Structure 1
Amino acid sequence: MPTSVSSRAMSKTIVTRDSRGAGDRLPDSLHPVLRRIYACRGVENAEELNLGLDALLPVELMTGADEAARIIAGQMENDGHILVIGDFDCDGATSTALSVLALRAMGARQVDYLVPNRFEYGYGLTPEIVELAARDKPDLIITVDNGVSSVDGVAAANALGIPVIVTDHHLPGEQLPAAAAMVNPNLPDSRFPAKSTAGVGVIFYVLLALRALLRDRQWFRGRAEPNMADYLDLLALGTVADVVPLEHNNRILVRQGLARIRAGRCRPGISALLEVAGRSQHRVQASDLGFAVGPRLNAAGRLDDMSVGIECLLADDPLEARQLAVQLDTLNRDRRVIEDDMRQQAEEMLAGLKMKEMDLPPGLCLYDESWHQGVIGILASRIKERHHRPVIAFAPGEGGEIKGSARSIPGVHIRDVLDEVNAKHPGLVPRFGGHAMAAGLTLASGKLDAFRAAFNEVLQARLEGRDLEPVIESDGEIAPQDMHLEMAGLLADGGPWGQGFPEPLFHGEFEVVQQRLLKDRHWKLVVQPAGGDQIVDAIGFNLADDMPGPLPERVLMAYQLDINEFRGNVNLQLRIAHMEAA
């Protein structure tokens, strides 16, 4: 039976994941705990555990990649000027860096990039960005991690005689741009089965197709042919940071990229970003890319200019990379201060409603004229995590508009919700786009109340009460004899873990042997598992608000097995995700 867990934010429930009956078909050589974990994630056979490059989906399946390669090859043969236009997040930065590095390595002599400043030009290939790009007289524009909704921008480029190749992974709208070639696994005619491929993965496949075509044309006779595996560190970073589901193909890209980073065979910028974040390069996990490297790159696009992040990834000189990484780290610290202030304001807004948690509307639309446009996405994520419902945070934009960043919960496809709002109220949402779990939109500033009502009307029709009750999915209990450092290492190596393929999480009861509050926010404990003799260190970050002290003698915890390395000592540590009195 589910176990109810109380918190100050919301009541939570721990449920044990369903193994879906797949465990019996996995290799007997797997440790039983790992077999159970894989089965709970829908892994059905040994082929799905093969994360070697030989198991990657073939480039022939990426619809449109061959046509894009043909156009790029033609430009290279004519010494054309190729301009890459990226997005201002980590996926966009890695996509841009990958494109520039690989095209130059293949022998393209005129390759540049342009990333729009989000505060001046907005998202994607807009007509304004085309006008700016045209000053450099490009012969070809390649969009990376954007473009599928850039109908007007592509039309503006076509009017200037500049062909556009769109490479993107976002969901298409009703109308597609008239691009010279389009590569997007989410287009209706795409044969590529890995629909969750990030933008950096899409352009990677285009570059694979380009290399194959150039090889057939004898282009590399007298030229060095690049090894595309050299760019897997960028693939891993962009894929993890964009929080796309880690389906099998994505897991291969991330696993192989992590292996290169650990071996020291990565871009100097990635090494430098790990260093300033205090993370070990030789023990790096996907979570380090998602929670340490990605946010520092994203900070550039949020507060300043993403070209700082791209230059960090492009840098060949470790000293230059280190200087840029320090600059990105400073921007990330500034971002945290802004975010903390905005989050406090948002919680005060919700408190002002004087509602119980259960009486809050199904979706939260929050706006303050002082909020920073670059940080509203993180703010929406934080509020969503605390109140477990779709959240859209808005900030002032240009020309009497406000810009919103939406984050959703499992079971609510946020872009589809916005699409339905737009269908029922034409013109209310002039621009929107995104994924199932995240989206962006623009409103006229006087339309917020009307949008809020329409948004919640659509959500109310789609949701049931249970959908707004947060659930902690556990892989069950783990025997005390399996609670050791070797098991933590086995689980770490069993990844990569991430979105759609979550890191193993267990639950169980523990005796609290010692308890200490760190910085009034984090619980530092020594605990003893029920039925076990050993004692184990445990840490619960930001749990003091949900469970103030002193703690009871016995607690129920949802936790992960973690490896804690401190001053040369390596020990097992439980990382507590949730805790309540047993």
Structure 2
Amino acid sequence: MSAERERPIRIVRRSVPDSHMQTGAWPTALPKVLTRIHAARGSSSFSEAMPKLDVMPHFSLLKDIDPAVSLLQTAIQEDRHIVVTADFDCDGATACAVAMRGLRLLGAKHLSYAVPDRAIHGYGLTPALVDELRPMRPDLIVTVDHGIACFDGVRAAKNAGWQVLVTDHHLPGDRLPCADAIVNPNQPDDVFPSKALAGVGVMFYVLLALRSRMALPSVELTALLDLVAIGTVADMVRLDPLNRALVQAGLNRIRAGKVHAGIAAIAAVAGRDLSSLTSADIGFSIAPRINAAGRLEDMRVGIECLMADSRAVAEQLAGTLDVINRERRDLQQAMIASGDVLAERAHDEDALVLCLQDADWHAGVIGLVASKLKDKTHRPVVAFAPSGNDDDMLRGSARSIPGFHMRDALAWVDAKNPGMIERFGGHAMAAGLSLPVAHFDEFNRAMQSVGQVWLTPSILEAFIESDGPLTPQEMSAGTAVALRDGGVWGQAYPEPQFDDVFEVLESRWLKEKHLRMKVRKDGCVFSAIQFNAPQRETGERVRLVYQLVLDDWRGGDAVQLMVRHRQPA
């Protein structure tokens, strides 16, 4: 969007409940700023802010966990052929690697995996994928990170004489597939307390239950936690206490060097130090390289990298992923440029929900485009590209804003217009769908109707949250390290960021898109940088929303402000 069309953004400072700051609930050695940050995110004690694995909910609370592990136990003991089918994103890839590695640790010998090609098979376990699996002669299909909406594919697998175990975390619709067992904390009547597990987390729980059933306590499933952490962060699921415990445990293993060769190799090509890896590093450097394979090429490249035990093999595959990721970035940049034009046009038409399509877009990248345009416009966005395997079909990826439940919106449209959408699924903030090209205009009108009812002025007001100002004493390298290492930050437990007014001493543009500044506050001078900054003038005084980070270029105790938003003071 052009600078003229940028929406004003309100800075909202997070409130800190007094009840969450009780003395005794937090270690006295913990910096006060960190206590305040955790309390503002709903944690009332250090143990709640930084949960351990020993407080994980028990796997027995998952509905269908007993029949699920019975299927797996019988298949292992009778040497049946287990075929894991994976989704083609990072959560699906890590879930597949966890399933393959974990089942082998628990004794499975006849084990294979398959990943659909989005252009040939479509999403998930489809009849087309079932046909391709027939020569493999599976006995048991185990879906990871998909399956809850794969009605036709599960039925085709059952008709072929195979058993099917669905493990998934996506929200179910009004009906469930005819699988032999379904493990999904979001299915009806499931009392498992955490509904935010990623697909990889669900599969990890299945393995915990299977290990217990098979009485193999010596099998170290904790060795899989680096993979669980990567997939959980990558899928941007809500980092509730369980997910924070899983991610923290995985990060601890990674930082200690107890990491699979593939993750180490991907971190190396991304220029990330394993000893200080953070959840942000996973989200911005590790996950995109794995995801790129499923977006543009074949996710088997990503899975094979995660499955590699040889350092040399892992490094070769990580190099391939890095090349694919660079191609993805170039393609994404071009698609966003054309998306800006389409978004401008939709804005002129007073669209509340931006439904955009372009015949030149790539179906593997539309989710990224939808996310970027959503951030720019503060509007729900549904981006469509040709499906790749059917000229009459569009593949859609939707991203939403707080207050507008995207999957529920699609369900409403589907209920009001039966047959318009071929299939859909997802969550509150993200969803996917298939739509006939001929139905696009009708779909757009239907989504505008939903928007007119659901999108209130308060929802449409763009805002950015802040943890308030830092004192001069807090703006130090010690604070930057404490913030980096003092929490598992991510979806629904966001990274700490602060706001204040600064005097601008210097400013200059880098590559015509990044803004480097030297700013002063209370007599202290700081380096600040804003990547992909809006092209607007910076006055003598500016209000910045920023993250306090170590300045890797200057080294030592130097810190810099990573600017997330700036506006006139």
Task: Please give the TM-score of this superposition, normalised by the length of structure 2.
Answer: 0.96
Counterpart in the other structure of 1:3: none
Letter in 1 for 2:62: M
Cα-to-partner distance string for 1:169-220 (whole Å, 9 max, x where unaligned) = 00001110111111000011111111010000000000000011111xxxx5
Letter in 1 for 2:322: D
Distance in 2 of aligned mates of 1:229 and 1:332 = 29
Provide closer, same or farther for how the CA distance between residues 556 and 207 of structure 1 changes in structure 2, counting only shifts above 3 A. Answer: same
Distance in 1 of aligned mates of 2:192 and 2:516 = 47
Counterpart in the other structure of 2:560: 573
Cα displacement (A) at 1:28? 5.8
Counterpart in the other structure of 1:104: 104
Distance in 2 of aligned mates of 1:430 and 1:20 = 46
Counterpart in the other structure of 2:26: 27
Distance in 1 of aligned mates of 2:152 and 2:502 = 60
Cα-to-partner distance string for 1:15-39 (whole Å, 9 max, x where unaligned) = 1112244433342624321121111
Cα displacement (A) at 1:422? 0.6
Counterpart in the other structure of 2:376: 386
Cα displacement (A) at 1:352? 4.2
Letter in 1 for 2:457: G
Letter in 1 for 2:453: A
Counterpart in the other structure of 1:284: 277
Cα displacement (A) at 1:70? 1.4
Letter in 2 for 1:27: W
Cα displacement (A) at 1:396? 1.0
Is residue 125–residue 154 contact of structure 2 (8 Å, CA) maintained in 1? yes
Counterpart in the other structure of 2:500: 508
1:227 aligns with 2:224: no
Is residue 346–residue 354 contact of structure 2 (8 Å, CA) maintained in 1? no
Cα-to-partner distance string for 1:444-477 (whole Å, 9 max, x where unaligned) = 1111111000011011101112211210111111
1:318 aligns with 2:336: no
Counterpart in the other structure of 1:450: 442
Is residue 261–residue 281 contact of structure 1 (8 Å, CA) maintained in 2? yes
Distance in 2 of aligned mates of 1:515 and 1:258 = 37
Give 1:31-430 correspondences, 5 Å limit.
31-215=31-215, 225-352=218-345, 355=348, 360-397=350-387, 398-399=389-390, 400-430=392-422
Aligned partner of residue 44 in structure 2, secondary structure: coil
Is residue 376–residue 404 contact of structure 1 (8 Å, CA) maintained in 2? yes
Letter in 1 for 2:502: F
Distance in 1 of aligned mates of 2:364 and 2:505 = 44
Cα-to-partner distance string for 1:503-540 (whole Å, 9 max, x where unaligned) = 011100111122221111111122112xx222121111
Letter in 1 for 2:497: L
Letter in 2 for 1:418: L
Letter in 1 for 2:8: S
Letter in 1 for 2:479: M
Distance in 1 of aligned mates of 2:205 and 2:477 = 38
Counterpart in the other structure of 1:553: 540
1:525 aligns with 2:517: yes
Letter in 2 for 1:230: A
Aligned partner of residue 487 in structure 1, secondary structure: helix
Distance in 1 of aligned mates of 2:63 and 2:416 = 33
Cα displacement (A) at 1:305? 0.5
Cα displacement (A) at 1:500? 0.2
Cα displacement (A) at 1:570? 5.3
Aligned partner of residue 482 in structure 1, secondary structure: coil
Is residue 66–residue 206 contact of structure 1 (8 Å, CA) maintained in 2? no
Is residue 106–residue 225 contact of structure 1 (8 Å, CA) maintained in 2? no
Give 1:453-464 correspondences, 5 Å limit.
453-464=445-456
Aligned partner of residue 19 in structure 1, secondary structure: coil
Is residue 142–residue 164 contact of structure 1 (8 Å, CA) maintained in 2? yes
Distance in 1 of aligned mates of 2:434 and 2:361 = 15
Provide structure 2 residue ranges, at least 5 long, that are not aligned to the other structure.
none
Distance in 2 of aligned mates of 1:469 and 1:523 = 26
Counterpart in the other structure of 2:7: 10
Distance in 2 of aligned mates of 1:499 and 1:166 = 25
Letter in 2 for 1:540: Q
Letter in 2 for 1:524: R
Provide closer, same or farther for how the CA distance between residues 354 and 255 of structure 1 changes in structure 2, counting only shifts above 3 A. Answer: closer
Counterpart in the other structure of 1:499: 491
Aligned partner of residue 136 in structure 2, secondary structure: coil
RMSD: 1.6
Is residue 27–residue 46 contact of structure 2 (8 Å, CA) maintained in 1? no
Distance in 1 of aligned mates of 2:107 and 2:554 = 46
Is residue 13–residue 466 contact of structure 2 (8 Å, CA) maintained in 1? yes
Aligned partner of residue 229 in structure 1, secondary structure: helix
Distance in 1 of aligned mates of 2:138 and 2:204 = 22
Distance in 2 of aligned mates of 1:533 and 1:57 = 50
Distance in 2 of aligned mates of 1:305 and 1:486 = 43
Letter in 1 for 2:260: R
Distance in 2 of aligned mates of 1:571 and 1:209 = 48
Cα-to-partner distance string for 1:370-415 (whole Å, 9 max, x where unaligned) = 1111111111011101001100110112331111110001111100
Distance in 1 of aligned mates of 2:508 and 2:268 = 29
Letter in 2 for 1:185: P
Distance in 2 of aligned mates of 1:211 and 1:320 = 30
The number of residues matched between the two structures is 562
Aligned partner of residue 306 in structure 2, secondary structure: helix
Provide closer, same or farther for how the CA distance between residues 252 and 353 of structure 1 changes in structure 2, counting only shifts above 3 A. Answer: closer
Aligned partner of residue 379 in structure 2, secondary structure: coil
Letter in 2 for 1:102: G
Aligned partner of residue 551 in structure 2, secondary structure: strand
Residue identity (%): 46
Is residue 65–residue 205 contact of structure 1 (8 Å, CA) maintained in 2? no
Counterpart in the other structure of 1:432: 424
Cα displacement (A) at 1:568? 5.5
Distance in 2 of aligned mates of 1:184 and 1:22 = 34
Cα-to-partner distance string for 1:225-274 (whole Å, 9 max, x where unaligned) = 42011011001000000000100000000011111111111111111111
Provide closer, same or farther for how the CA distance between residues 354 and 475 of structure 1 changes in structure 2, counting only shifts above 3 A. Answer: closer
Cα displacement (A) at 1:350? 3.1
Is residue 157–residue 163 contact of structure 1 (8 Å, CA) maintained in 2? yes
